[in-house]
Amino acid sequence: MSTPYDHKAVESKWQDRWEKQRAAEVDLRHGHGKYYMLMMFPYPSGDRLHVGHGRNYILGDALFRFLRMNGKRALNPMGWDAFGLPAENAAIQRGIHPRDWTLANIKVMKEQFRRWGILYDWSKEIASCFPEYYRWNQWLFLRMLEKGLAYKKMAPVNWCPSCRTVLANEQVVDGACERCGTPVVQRDLEQWFFRITEYADRLLSGLDTLEGWPEKVKVMQRNWIGRSEGAEIRFEIPALGESVTVFTTRPDTIHGATFLVLAPEHPLAGRLIAKHGKHAEIEAWIETVRNTPRIQRSDEGNPKEGWDTGVVAVNPATGEEIPIWLANYVLPEYGTGAIMAVPAHDARDLAFARQEGLPVRLVYHLEGDADTDPASLAEPILHVGVIRNAPPFDGLRDGPETLRRFIAWLEEKGWGKARVVYRLRDWLISRQRYWGTPIPVVYCDKCGLVPVPDAQLPVELPYDVEFTGREGNPLSRSKSFVETKCPQCKGPARRETDTMDTFVDSSWYYLRYLSPRDATKMFDTEVANRWMPVDQYIGGIEHAILHLLYARFICKVLHDFGMVGIEEPFQNLFNQGMITRYSEKSGRIEKMSKSKGNTVSPDELIEEMGADTERVYTLFIGPPEKEAEWSDEAVSGAHRFLQRVWRMLEKLPEAPPTAPADPELERDRHATIQRVTHSLQRFSFNTAVAALMELSNSLSKALEEKTASRLRCEETFDTLVQLLHPLAPHMTEELWERRGYTESLLETSWPEHDEAKLRRARIELVVQVDGKVRDRVEVDAAADEKQVRATVLASPRVKDFLAGREVAKAVLVPGRLINLVTRRSA
């Protein structure tokens, strides 16, 4: 007669108890033994979380419980990235205020976390949409404004016609809006920026210190920052009495520069084409290029188009006059927006030269090749060859030293200088939407742009706003918000209606968790210095560039403001893989998502089999950093395993009080402690589950066959329950209590293995003959090679395989195998 496991009752019982005990609460006044773990804070989207989302939170909770049992003062806070477009869209579509909608969603998500048995320190909960939070965005903005790190400029921007807002470069994916997928168009608008480019070098070098980050993420960030070393070189334009500066990474090929190309948007373009016969036609073309979506324009397949301006520049190296062109393949915002074209040594320039019939001149010549004809050159000569006909450099080979000599020469002649250029652009933070942090500045007719004084923060979002879906920011139609007084002259003034990119919110929230209720400052420096950096950050790879780059940037800014000691906020980063499943809609196995219709609801799963089952299966599904396909069938394996563990409790009393000493179960127990501990340290949850299943199988067998004493069985069972707790917290707490223990498993110490218990007196040794497994023999663990050899050679099977041949050599791997080699190696 066994008591069935009532997962519903047990799970809610323990969820209540953990909540009452405030099991995850941490006192931040002490930093000793601290371990700051952090899950990327979620956007409360209004869709119920599915099991794919669950993976992230479940593995975080397993880690948290494991750390706690290991005596760490683990901090695991949770909050809400609560500003964002979907809230506003919900307002437009359903007439719910973004604030009410968001708060309702938070409630739902919180309940889902609870049902998963996840422990967060809710006393530190934050939501970025509360004025108590976003006033510090504003405060930070003002400090950055003072230091020139925030500024406003007219700029061609990415505009999403559907979201009706501008997007940062990072938010444009394949030419489309990252959020809604609508193709992005170019517009010129006055916008606010953060000067992240000033930190480009530090963001780059900081990556080298992040040993606990996946290489992949670091590579992506390096690519994004895109540092290029080279030189800028000035070319005189006699006709204009003016010069143009180009950027090149190959100043050593200047003798081969046969024309210049400027971006059509280049400031000199207008004057260059002023006297051109087809002036109007070129202007129209410039307009077309300007309006081409940037992604299409910078696509390699985009046809190169250009116009000869008819004006020439002088190549300082050769003294030759070379034509100046305008072409779409030169981008205005990279480098100086102008290049020297060296068709012989650059693929793009060669393609354009061939297309337009422009001359090609070689600087580097292939060795041994007396005469490469520039006219027939099909491929550019890249990073090989020797310089000819470019005094005083003749005979030099392509390489860094040659490059240095060219730059020194250019500097000496006064024609150019070394320069480093980045692909990274400044961070466009303006958004023309309501549901975000208002940018705290005011426009006064008399005083111009006036920052809102700190004392007047926060600039609060007005609640009473109409959401119509019409073009433009709803904020700009709110009279009560827009109309204000100038803080300087007290005259009438208008508020800035742009709000901040929500990535500003998430760029410093990890610091706010440490001072969540401080109404006097952004965060407490002392507490931050005690608890930062985040020891383990966990989240999706989709934030590899955006959020993680911005957060690193803002952390460095705060460091420079003297507000926090560290420069890198996240010491270790873990990116969990996504959960996939077959989608009826697409007929493919795809990332689990509502739009693909392939989600599995944890609500039903928990109802049917319990949260512990979902947790164990999710952790067992595969290595957590890899993607994994959800299998509805395989879930039952986890369920069966937990059921077996549950039933074992009632079988324990059936074990005999005494039994023939069986060291194997005790050995298994210690081996499992070692394996599970090691697995959890490595985030290898799947192998931890496997090890626990094996121990469960061993104990089950021992109980069945009555080969171990009751005490030993109970001891093994208790260890199993403890080790299983981080993975299946509810059931293990219940079992622990039923075993008669009064403290929560969270309060117990993680078991330690005893090295001595792992050893066996006799071991099974594999015998190989010429590298093939031929037999197994039992020997003393301590046996030396001589003894082992004697035992092995006595085996009839081994004798057969040796077939009378000499053993030329024997290789003994103590405790594992012996290899008898008969043939000589060839």
Partner RNA sequence: GCGAAAGUGGCGGAAUUGGUAGACGCGCAAGAUUCAGGAUCUUGUGGUCGCAAGGCCGUGGGGGUUCGAGUCCCCCCUUUCGCACCA
Interface residues for RNA in 413-442 (CB under 7 A)? Answer: 421, 423
In the complex, least distance from residue 158 CB atom to RNA, rounded to whole angstroms: 12
Q: In the beta sheet, which residues pair with residue 212?
A: 572
* Secondary structure of residue 44 in the 3-state scheme: coil
382 vs 794 by CB, closer to RNA? 382
| Residue 99 in contact with RNA, rule: CB under 7 A | no
Distance from C-alpha of 263 to C-alpha of 286, rounded to nearest angstrom: 9
Q: Which amino acid, 278?
A: K
Measured in degrees and rounded to the nearest 5, phi and psi for residue 525 equal: -60, -40
Any contact of residue 178 with RNA (CB under 7 A)? no
Select from 207, 239, 652, 821 the one that contacts RNA (CB under 7 A).
821
477 residue type, one letter: R
Supply φ then ψ for residue 424, to 5 degrees.
Answer: -60, 135
Q: Which is nearer to RNA, 454 or 785 (CB)?
A: 785
Strand segments, DSSP code E, in 586-638 are 589-591, 628-629
Q: Considering the complex, what minimum distance in angstroms separates the CB of residue 273 from RNA? A: 19
Q: Which of residues 13-72 bind RNA (CB under 7 A)?
A: none
For RNA, the closer CB: 334 or 561: 334
For residues 499-558, which are near RNA according to CB under 7 A? Answer: 545
Number of residues that bind RNA (CB under 7 A): 84
Of 123 and 636, nearer to RNA (C-beta) is 636
Q: Which residues of 471-506 are buried (b: 16+ CB within 10 A; e: fewer)?
A: eebbbbebeebbebebbeeeeebebbbbbbbbbbbb
At closest approach, how far in Å is the CB of 293 from RNA? 12
Of residues 554 through 593, those in contact with RNA by CB under 7 A are none
Q: How far is residue 68 from each of residues 31, 74, 113, 712, 725, measured CA to CA in Å?
A: 15, 6, 19, 26, 11
Q: How far is the CB of 687 from RNA (least distance, A)?
A: 5
Nearer to RNA, 297 or 706 (CB): 297
Interface with RNA, residue 222, by CB under 7 A: no
Cis bond leading into 451, ω under 30°?
Answer: no
Q: How far is the CB of 395 from RNA (least distance, A)?
A: 24
Site for RNA in 266-305 (CB under 7 A): 297-300, 302-304
Closest CA to 292 of 186, 173, 169: 186
Is the Cβ–Cβ distance between 627 and 691 less than 8 Å? no
Contact call for residue 228 and RNA (CB under 7 A): yes
> Interacting stretch for RNA, rule CB under 7 A, among 33-41, 457-465, 499-507, 818-826?
818-826
701 binds RNA (CB under 7 A): yes
| Ranges within 631-690 binding RNA (CB under 7 A) | 631, 633-634, 636-638, 640-641, 643-644, 674, 678, 684, 686-687, 689-690
- Minimal distance in Å, beta carbon 696 to RNA? 8
DSSP annotation string for 474-524: GGGG-HHHHEEE-TTT-SEEEE---EE-HHHHTTSHHHHTTSTT-SSSSS-
Omega prior to 533 cis, within 30 of 0: yes
- Across the strands, what pairs with 573? 537
Indicate the residue among 346 and 496 with the shorter CB distance to RNA. Answer: 346
Nearer to RNA, 70 or 643 (CB): 643
Binding part of the chain for RNA, among 141-149, 486-494, 592-600, 691-699 by CB under 7 A, reads 691-699
* Selected binder of RNA within 30, 107, 216, 585 (CB under 7 A): 216
For 596, other C-beta atoms within 10 Å of its C-beta total 18
Q: Which SS3 state, helix, strand or coil, does residue 339 take?
A: strand
The angle at the Cα of 301, spanning 296 to 303, to the nearest 5 degrees, equals 85
Cβ atoms of 588 and 32 closer than 8 Å = no
Contacts 24+ apart (CB under 8 A), 670-675: 670/753, 670/754, 670/757, 670/758, 671/753, 671/758, 672/719, 672/720, 672/723, 673/719, 673/723, 673/751, 673/752, 673/753, 674/753, 674/758
Choices 66-74, 213-221, 404-412, 713-721 (CB under 7 A): range interacting with RNA: 213-221
Closest CB to RNA among residues 449, 794: 794
- Within positions 301 to 340, which residues make up the interface with RNA, using CB under 7 A? 302-304, 328-332, 334-337, 339
Q: Restricting to residues 364-423, which ones interact with RNA according to CB under 7 A?
A: 421, 423
Pick from 12, 245, 249, 402 the residue near RNA by CB under 7 A: 249
Nearer to RNA, 68 or 675 (CB): 675
